[in-house]
């Protein structure tokens, strides 16, 4: 859902309304924050890996 360009409230609302899924707003905010930092680390590691193969 983070690829749908929704903000935290939009994702939370969509989960509650369309998918009948009960989750706290804070949990979604936490997950998105840590997902972004995980993706940043993965990109950094991939770039470093390419450099070490050169």
The pLDDT tens digits for 1-39 are 555 778 888 988 998 898 888 889 999 888 888 887 666
Task: Report pLDDT for 41.
Answer: 64
Q: Are 25 and 42 in contact (CB under 8 A)?
A: no
Per the model's pLDDT, the better-predicted residue between 12 and 44 turns out to be: 12
Cβ 13 vs Cβ 24: under 8 Å? no
43 band by pLDDT with thresholds 50, 70 and 90? low
pLDDT value at residue 51 = 60
Query: Which of left, alpha, beta for 25 (phi over 0: left; psi -120 to 50: alpha)?
Result: alpha
CA distance 43 to 22: 32
- Domain ranges in the chain are 2-53
């Amino acid at each position: 859902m983070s690829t749908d360009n929704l903000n935290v409230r939009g994702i939370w609302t969509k989960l509650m309304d369309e998918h009948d899924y009960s989750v706290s707003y804070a949990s979604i905010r936490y997950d998105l924050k840590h997902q972004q930092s995980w993706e940043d680390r993965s990109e950094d590691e991939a770039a470093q890996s390419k450099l070490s193969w050169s």
